[in-house]
Amino acid sequence: MKDGFIRTAAITPEIKVADVAYNLNECIRLTKEACEGGASIIVFPELVLTGYTCQDLFFQKELIDECGRAVADFARQTKDTEAIIFIGVCMTLNDKLYNVAAVLNKGELIGLVPKRNLPNYSEFYEQRHFTSGNKSPILVDCFGFKDVPFGSNLMFKPNNTFMHENQAKDITVAAEICEDLWVADPPSTAHAKNGADIIVNLSAGNELVTKNDYRRSLVSSTSARLICAYVYACAGNGESTQDLVFGGHDLICENGTVLAESELFKTGVIYADIDVQRLLHDRRRMNTWETGTVDKIKYETVIKDPGVLAGDREFYIIRNYDTTLKDLEVKRKFSSRPFVPDAEDMRSKRCNQILTIQAMGLKKRLDTIGCKTALVGLSGGLDSTLALIVMAKAFDLAGIDRTGIISVTMPCFGTTDRTYNNACNLAKTMGTTLMEINIADSVKAHFRDIGQDEKTHDITYENSQARERTQVLMDLSNKMNGLVVGTGDMSELALGWATYNGDHMSMYGVNASVPKTLVRHLVAAYARDESVSKETAAILQDVLNTPVSPELLPPVDGVISQKTEDIVGPYELHDFFLYYMLRWGFTPVKIYRLACMAFEGIYDGATILKWEKIFYRRFFSQQFKRSCLPDGPKVGSVALSPRGDWRMPSDAVGKLWQKELENIG
């Protein structure tokens, strides 16, 4: 699949203990089903061809030999399958029995990964039957195949000659088996450090009360810790229930997120489309990510000179396999509002946490400078309302009376009665000190000074108002020994939708890392708080229902005439572009593709492309405003502070990004 996606499948067949022929047929049937579903990586459970619960039957030559014949038969019947397949089997080597993952591709056995950590406690007595496998691989002949690498230090990479441009070319897959994951130093740690970005696990964990919760947490947290994808296939129905029950709990996780999960005690196939580009981006940007130093030897090199395996050093064998990744429609879902949790309970919890982070940031600044007065320009719009809410919480946390909050409303040419009244009433009901300063005369005097015609409603007309408001606030702060709190949000900063040294400037910007799509939810969450009066909640609701506008142009018939989103585009689109550009480093083409999926039925492709082009043009041209931002608290994984998250030259050229968008047909 293009744009870094690859479809994976975890499979739990319904088996019969020690009935190898039956199990083989089930595995072949489900392999074909997974391939028809577009899977390029297929993972079966541990010892699936025999059944995990054979106990002392593993000592029987008949069972061992039949398993070997089944592996060869499985290879023959899947010779036209381009997927890489991991299937759990038992095998003998040097008179020892091993629990291994047989790795197959296009009818060839390309690797054997033995289990390293064998449990020998409670209900599991694997050490009674099996021998722990080695790390560094050796070459063995088995199941009718020659020179098969055997060892846990094996990694598998697609042969790039079989792949198309813009596909997930950097895929590297490694394997571990069940208990290997549950130990203090699992093999997957070394695998990931040495280049594996997808780890598969062939497992046979039994079910106990709440064990599925722990397993889900373990697999997802491992994928987060290793910045990898983790495909976990577990034994299920058909295993012996003499003493245990196996639930077939399959999981596919990516960097801490559960992409797919099977229902307990249900057999079959689950799929997930893993984004390898996303994983590699996170590894690149995290300088704490430790790269392994173990030697990597290509399989072809070993075949030419087996002597390279001599010695006691640890090493990996890299085995390429043949595949052509299919150009499929991506199955995973992408939220149209990535900054906003979909679930209401999670959204409420997130909003309360963000408000607290903002308030604690401001409280610390007030404490540091010994300030008990703070000023905000209150317009009756969303951003200044959120800033006021944060100030109120900060003052409450600091034990300072809210009358120390000076809510300054500064009506001018574009102010409507609706926003004016909301600003005044909100300031009063929240217990702050309201100050009204009409700036119209000051702005007109300024127009006369610079020779600006009042009837010319150009950018000078608009920005003069914004800068006058900032001057008023700054001078008042000197007079009152107070702190000017900024109201601008991250979406405005990304687009440069702010007047330089106007609303762009403050002494502490509490909203600087809050995207516009989240501002609305933060205000709504505060309005629902039980401590908020009914009068305040009603005003906040009307603020939420007011169109977003800078109100710098005269209203028409008393109604807002200047709507921001009519000019710069929908903020929900811009926030989507911003998130996937900054957080994951996606290309414009990939972001466009994801946006078309996320906003299907809301915006057509032409509309999305139009605003994405504007986003990139404005993002590059407006960096100079972000290069001199005031201090402000970071609240999420994306921020634009020039002192931390986003350091970009103000004169950088965006031609590469624009050119890619121009090529979208």
Q: Where are the domains of the chain?
A: 5-321, 344-662
Alpha-carbon distances, residue 491 vs 148, 162, 417 (angstroms): 55, 42, 26
Q: Please tell me what DSSP assigns to residue 453.
A: -
Residue among 46, 462, 468, 551 flagged as catalytic: 46
Find how far residue 333's CA is from the centre of its chain.
12
Give residue 425's pLDDT.
97
Give residue 287's pLDDT.
83
Burial annotation 241-252 (CB, 10 A radius, 16+ → b, else e): eeebebbbbbbb
pLDDT along the chain (665 residues), means of 10: 90 98 98 96 98 96 97 97 96 97 98 96 85 96 97 92 53 97 97 97 95 97 98 97 95 97 96 95 89 92 92 94 83 93 89 97 97 97 97 98 98 94 97 97 97 95 96 98 97 96 96 96 95 96 90 80 86 97 95 96 96 97 96 96 93 95 86
- Give the 3-state secondary structure of residue 438: coil
**Annotated catalytic residue 46:** yes
CA dihedral (258, 259, 263, 268) positive or negative: negative
User: What are the tokens at 415?
Assistant: 């102010």
Alpha-carbon distances, residue 448 vs 412, 455, 461, 464, 553 (angstroms): 16, 12, 12, 12, 18
Alpha-carbon distances, residue 166 vs 83, 515, 588 (angstroms): 19, 31, 13
**Annotated catalytic residue 253:** no
DSSP per-residue string spanning 310-355: -SS--EEEEEEE----------S---S-TTS-SSHHHHHHHHHHHH
Give residue 1's pLDDT.
65
Please state, in angstroms and rounded to a whole number, the distance separating the CA atoms of residues 356 and 332.
33
**Annotated catalytic residue 610:** no
Alpha-carbon distances, residue 289 vs 174, 225, 284, 471, 494 (angstroms): 18, 10, 8, 46, 28
Instruction: Enter the pTM of the model.
Output: 0.91
435, containing H or E segment: strand 433-436
User: The CATH number of 344-662 is which of 3.40.50.2000, 3.30.590.20, 3.40.50.620, 3.40.50.300?
Assistant: 3.40.50.620
- Give the 3-state secondary structure of residue 526: helix
Residue among 178, 253, 371, 424 flagged as catalytic: 178
Q: Quick one: 5-321 is in which CATH superfamily? A: Carbon-nitrogen hydrolase (3.60.110.10)
CA proximity to 443, closest of 415, 417, 413, 423: 413
Give residue 665's pLDDT.
67
Residue among 2, 67, 90, 115 flagged as catalytic: 115
Determine if residue 83 is left, alpha or beta; phi over 0 gives left, psi from -120 to 50 gives alpha, anything else beta.
beta
Same fold across 5-321 and 344-662: no
What length is written for the chain? 665
List strands edge to edge, sheet with 41-43. Answer: 138-142, 145-150, 108-114, 96-105, 84-93, 41-43, 5-12, 268-275
Give residue 555's pLDDT.
83
